[in-house]
Structure 1
Amino acid sequence: MWLTLAGAILIEVCATLCLRASDGFRKKAWVAPMLLGYLVSFTLLSVTLSLGMPVGVAYGVWSAAGVALIAVIARVLFAEPLTPLMMGGIALIIAGVLTIELTGAAG
């Protein structure tokens, strides 16, 4: 279950990087990998849910990990800004997801 979620996250990150690389769909070579990546990512997310992971847990981890990874990788690949304030925001996203997961597991 966690392995399929990790696959969904990594493929979604790759698809989003392809979206960025497509430069507003002007670079057509990136469009097909982007579409395929999103299709596979959502399929793996669906498999994760069918294996019994609650949707709040799956989507929370999927979206938070995606945001954090995209911000860091985009900094490296595309020289996009990653300010201390942005890093703080990423930390808050992660803390929020962890809080939801930990309180949900206890309840």
Structure 2
Amino acid sequence: MWMVLTCAILCEVLATLALRASDGFRRKAWIVPVTLGYVVSFTLLWFALSLGIPVGIAYGIWTACGVALVAVAARFLFHEALTPVMMIGIALIVSGVFTIELAGVAH
């Protein structure tokens, strides 16, 4: 089930990066990868939930990893800013999700 969630995250990240590459859909070739990536990502997220991952944990991990991976990838692919303050914010998001996951495991 965690592998399914990991694949959902990767598809969402790729779709978001393709969305950025599409330049507001002015580059029409990116429409299919964006659409397909989001459809596959949400389908895999649904599947991960159906396998038993609690929605709060799955969605938290999905969004936090998505934010962190997109920010880092955009830095290298699109030369977007990734400041120390932004990195601290990403670390706080990941820490918060990790805390929520630990709390969920404790119950």
Q: TM-score, with normalisation over the residues of structure 1?
A: 0.98
Query: What are the equivalent positions in structure 2 for 1:27-66 lying under 5 Å apart?
Result: 27-66=27-66
Which whole-Å CA distance do the structure 2 matches of 1:101 and 1:52 have between them? 14
Q: Which runs of 4+ in 1 moved over 4 A?
A: none
Per the TM alignment, residue 19 of structure 1 is displaced from its structure 2 partner at its CA by 0.3
1:68 aligns with 2:87: no
Q: Deviations over 1:67-95 (max 9, x none)?
A: 00000000000000000000000000001
SS at match of 2:26: coil
Which whole-Å CA distance do the structure 2 matches of 1:97 and 1:91 have between them? 10
Match of 1:86 in 2: 86
Which whole-Å CA distance do the structure 2 matches of 1:65 and 1:77 have between them? 18
Per the TM alignment, residue 104 of structure 1 is displaced from its structure 2 partner at its CA by 1.8
CA RMSD, 1 decimal: 0.5
Q: Which runs of 5+ in 2 are unaligned?
A: none
Per the TM alignment, residue 66 of structure 1 is displaced from its structure 2 partner at its CA by 0.3
Q: Percent identity?
A: 68
Which whole-Å CA distance do the structure 1 matches of 2:57 and 2:100 have between them? 8
Per the TM alignment, residue 105 of structure 1 is displaced from its structure 2 partner at its CA by 1.3
Q: How many residues align?
A: 107
Which whole-Å CA distance do the structure 1 matches of 2:68 and 2:99 have between them? 17
Match of 2:96 in 1: 96
Q: TM-score, with normalisation over the residues of structure 2?
A: 0.98
Match of 1:25 in 2: 25
